Amino acid sequence: MRFAIFPANDPARTSRLKRQLMALGSYLMYLLPLTYAVHYGWVRFGYPGLALFVATSIAINLVFFIAIRTGFSLRYKDPSLLLPQIAVSIALALLIIHNANEVRSILLLPFYTGFFFGIFGLSTRQYLGLTIAASIGYAGMMVLEFVGRSLDTDQFHLELLRFLTLVMILLWLSFLGGYVAWLRSSLARRKNALATALNKLEQLASRDELTGVFNRRHLIELMEHEKERAERFGDTFSVCLLDIDHFKRFNDTHGHQVGDEVLQGFSQRMRAQARGIDWLGRQEADNTFGRYGGEEFLLVQPRTPIAGALHCVERIRRAVNAAPFETRVGPLQVTFSAGIAEYQRDESVVATLNRADAALYKAKNGGRNRSELAP
């Protein structure tokens, strides 16, 4: 079985692993100056200590890499494990500085590198916590080194200067990193809000405002898509134009608000019935049904011949006729007429719709509450 360093189809984890490799590179980056310091005796632990530092750095980063790669880190709030990684780097930096002599100021740099990595996810509070921990660690090292010794020496004052410089720089990095984290979080929130707004606009552009079902624009696009698929793969599809019978009578007798309620009720019942009818097995009913205009509705049935479309419409008719629609003026019985056409190869979607419309006209002239098939 082949092992991949970066997981497939998981860009977030891949990004974390790449940052982990960058962290390892940062450790090894200090190998050259540290080797130089060991060579000239500016660090007390010598080459054996240098080898131990390299082995420890690789081992620590390997542990974090495995935790992220295997998904173990996903159980924590921060899957990148930034906080523990920076804390470990601070501990190692303190250990190296404790064993250094003249080059302590240069070896402070690992503190700053670790803090820069915090920009990927730490908050100001976490940064300040690390600053306090690093300051306490450095102060403890000073106490250990100068206990029982005179504090009125150039060496102590130089060490105190290093300590104060370290604290000030870490504080500055904490607020800077926290500000960058806030900017990143703010941008993420705005991106999510923009995506939500765009999705809402897309829904508004494709939905009928009154009934909530899809509008003519969406249905025509769907038919064009089905036409392209039919031409490419030799499939077919059917369209059903549904027209509420005597809808004008509802408006004239009870008012337009009741007419709107009839349209809404018809849409809801149609969608409810369509979900329970497996005419496709491949499409969601909500995606294939919509308001074509006025009291007309359109049902697109991908990969369905005309006989299957007729069977579906008649099952819907029985469900619609089974119970009246509840409105503000009481229950009203609603029926519909339907014209059904199956797509014919090389014809336009307009031609298919025209044939369905002709069949609908025939159904209405034939007494309504019935279906007719386009020749």
Q: Is residue 39 part of a domain?
A: yes
Is residue 187 pLDDT above 90, yes or no? no
CB 273 within 8 A of CB 315: yes
Is residue 303 pLDDT above 50, yes or no? yes
Same domain, 268 and 351: yes
Q: Is residue 206 part of a domain?
A: no
> What is the H or E stretch that residue 342 is in?
strand 336-342
Same domain, 157 and 224: no
Same domain, 190 and 238: no
Tally of CB atoms within 10 A around 145: 12
Q: What is the pLDDT of residue 278?
A: 40
Spell out the alpha helix ranges (H) of 70-153: 82-98, 109-117, 124-146
CB 268 within 8 A of CB 291: no
Same domain, 230 and 282: yes
Q: Is residue 181 part of a domain?
A: yes
- Domain hosting residue 226, numbered range: 216-373
Same domain, 109 and 227: no
**What does pTM read for this prediction?**
0.53
Same domain, 175 and 232: no
Same domain, 169 and 237: no
Q: Is residue 3 part of a domain?
A: no
Nearest Cα residue to 321 out of 304, 333, 303, 307: 333
CATH of the domain at 365: 3.30.70.270
- Please report which confidence band the pLDDT of residue 242 belongs to, taking 50, 70 and 90 as the band edges: very high
Same domain, 77 and 170: yes
SS3 59: helix
Name every residue whose Cβ is closer than 8 Å to that of residue 72 and which is 6 or more positions away in sequence: 66
The residue to which tokens 């990004």 are assigned: 15
Is residue 310 pLDDT above 60, yes or no? yes
C-alpha distance across the termini of the chain, in Å: 59
Record the tokens describing residue 306, joined without a space.
């005309």
pLDDT, tens only, 129-152: 888 988 898 898 888 888 878 778
Spell out the alpha helix ranges (H) of the chain: 11-29, 31-39, 46-69, 82-98, 109-117, 124-146, 154-206, 216-233, 247-254, 256-275, 306-321, 349-365
Rounded Cα distance between 300 and 193, Å, is 33
Last residue of a domain, one of 167, 199, 231: 199
Catalytic residue positions, numbered? 295
Count: domains in the chain: 2
pLDDT, tens only, 39-74: 888 888 889 988 988 898 889 889 999 999 888 988
Is residue 276 pLDDT above 70, yes or no? no
